[in-house]
């Protein structure tokens, strides 16, 4: 295994699964029954007991995923001893031919911080999805925020971060919405510039930070071209198709369109009538009324577009 024991730290779970051992690399395949096990024990040629923690994982993995599979995930604290032991016993028991492995790729995620502290049940500093939804967050915002951190980088989850996620998604949604409106039913292959940069980033150990940087650079460029009326319909459609390919990875989907209240629609019509009559003072008053109701209005070549502030 070529283990460097002086560079390893014992995982959190070992303290709850102690046994006498001569070296840090030792691990048990079977543990004798102790009163704390309660009803969790089985008969064996060595007496009543239970499998070691590592054996449980090898048994479940090979039963459901096969004797060899591509990807195994886990927290950084499981690298040693748990995952090393899982490899040792699996490959020892199954006698793999040369070149074949129990698992081809291992990914170990850093621990999550919540409001600056390590997430822990004992500290009670954690949020459930229900908690976050009750605070007004959406599933897309939660997903986006978690997708901005590299899996091996320590990530600090905060409620302020959720607010930032909402702003970033709003910028993305506005750009994609404009592209969809401008592209119409035009069907073309995706533009390659965004896809090349996105793929390059994700191929670099799932570097989502660089991937999102590519996306927001793309948004800036698309918005610049839209504002300058320098994005022909086929190019808009190609840009939209590129984002759809990226979103096949991120899975954020499109924002649900807000149902516009009748009162707001009537004010929009009144503003349009005032603008047509060149009564811009009245038009500005109506705009302020819309803003007080939590809506903004944007004039586009296809007419006014309203959205929540």
| Tally of domains in the chain | 3
Measure the N-to-C terminal CA separation of the chain; round to a whole number of Å. 58
Q: 182 and 287 in one domain?
A: no
Residues 121-167 have pLDDT tens digits of 777 778 889 999 998 899 999 999 999 999 999 999 999 999 999 99
Q: What is the pLDDT of residue 16?
A: 43
Integer Cα distance of 173 and 256 in angstroms: 10
Six token digits for residue 62: 């090979």
255 domain-assigned: no
pLDDT of residue 247 exceeding 60, the answer is: yes
pLDDT band at 95 (very low <50, low <70, confident <90, very high): confident
Q: 84 and 143 in one domain?
A: no
Report the chain's C-alpha Rg in angstroms. Answer: 28
Q: Where are the alpha helices (DSSP H) in the chain?
A: 53-65, 84-94, 129-134, 139-147, 159-183, 192-203, 208-227, 233-250, 262-276, 280-292
Q: 130 and 170 in one domain?
A: yes
Residues 29-83 have pLDDT tens digits of 889 999 999 999 999 999 999 988 888 899 999 999 999 999 999 999 898 889 9
Q: 28 and 10 in one domain?
A: yes
Among residues 250, 275, 292, the one where a domain terminates is: 250
Q: What is the pLDDT of residue 80?
A: 86
Integer Cα distance of 208 and 200 in angstroms: 10
Q: Domain containing 133: what range? A: 113-250
- The mean per-residue pLDDT over the stretch 91-102 comes to 91
Among residues 63, 81, 109, the one where a domain terminates is: 109
pTM value? 0.71
Q: 140 and 224 in one domain?
A: yes
Decide: 13 and 82 in contact? Cβ < 8 Å: yes
Higher pLDDT residue, 242 or 112? 242
pLDDT of residue 18 exceeding 50, the answer is: no
Residue 53's CATH number: 3.40.50.620
Six token digits for residue 185: 């039913």
Coarse DSSP helix, strand, coil percentages of the chain, rounded to the nearest 5 percent: 50, 15, 35
pLDDT band at 1 (very low <50, low <70, confident <90, very high): very low
Residues 107-131 have pLDDT tens digits of 999 888 898 888 777 777 788 899 9
Residues 179-231 have pLDDT tens digits of 998 898 999 999 999 999 999 999 999 999 999 999 999 999 999 999 999 99
Mean pLDDT of the chain: 87
- The mean per-residue pLDDT over the stretch 93-110 comes to 92
Higher pLDDT residue, 143 or 254? 143
257 domain-assigned: no
- The mean per-residue pLDDT over the stretch 293-303 comes to 80
Q: 59 and 186 in one domain?
A: no
Q: 118 and 104 in one domain?
A: no
Integer Cα distance of 200 and 218 in angstroms: 15
Taking the alpha carbons of 277, 288, 263, 184 in that order, is the dihedral positive or negative?
A: positive
Q: What is the pLDDT of residue 125?
A: 79
Q: 136 and 100 in one domain?
A: no
Angle at 44 between CA 40 and CA 50, to 5 degrees: 30
Q: What is the pLDDT of residue 9?
A: 47
Q: What is the pLDDT of residue 2?
A: 53
Q: 292 and 223 in one domain?
A: no
Stretch among 83-87, 95-99, 293-297, 300-304 having the lowest mean pLDDT: 300-304
Among residues 109, 138, 162, the one where a domain terminates is: 109
pLDDT band at 3 (very low <50, low <70, confident <90, very high): low
Integer Cα distance of 147 and 142 in angstroms: 9
């Amino acid at each position: 295994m070529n283990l460097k024991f002086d560079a390893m730290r014992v995982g959190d779970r070992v303290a709850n699964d102690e046994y006498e051992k001569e070296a840090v690399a030792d691990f048990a395949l079977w543990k004798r029954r102790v009163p704390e096990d309660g009803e969790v024990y089985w008969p064996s040629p060595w007496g009543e007991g239970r499998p070691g923690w590592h054996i449980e994982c090898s048994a479940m993995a090979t039963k459901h995923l096969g004797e060899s599979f591509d990807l195994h995930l886990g927290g950084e604290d499981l690298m040693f001893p748990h995952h090393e032991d899982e490899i040792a016993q699996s490959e020892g028991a199954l006698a793999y031919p040369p070149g074949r492995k129990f698992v081809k790729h291992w990914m170990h995620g850093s621990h999550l911080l919540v409001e600056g502290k390590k997430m822990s049940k004992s500290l009670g500093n954690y949020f459930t999805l229900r908690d976050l939804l009750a605070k007004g967050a959406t599933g897309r915002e939660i997903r986006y925020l978690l997708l901005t951190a590299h899996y091996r980088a320590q990530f600090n989850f905060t409620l302020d971060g959720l607010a930032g996620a909402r702003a970033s998604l709003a910028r993305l949604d506005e750009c994609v919405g404009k592209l969809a409106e401008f592209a119409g039913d035009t069907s073309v292959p995706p533009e390659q510039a965004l896809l090349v940069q996105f793929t390059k980033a994700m191929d670099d150990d799932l570097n989502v930070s660089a991937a999102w940087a590519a996306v927001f650079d793309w948004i800036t460029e698309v918005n610049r071209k839209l504002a300058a009326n320098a994005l022909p319909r086929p190019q808009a459609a190609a840009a939209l198709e590129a984002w759809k390919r990226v979103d096949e990875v991120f899975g954020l989907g499109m924002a649900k369109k807000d149902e516009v209240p009748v009162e707001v629609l009537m004010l929009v019509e009144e503003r349009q009538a005032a603008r047509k009559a060149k009564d811009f003072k009245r038009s500005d008053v109506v705009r302020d009324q819309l803003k007080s109701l939590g809506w903004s209005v944007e004039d586009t070549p296809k007419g006014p577009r309203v959205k929540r502030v």
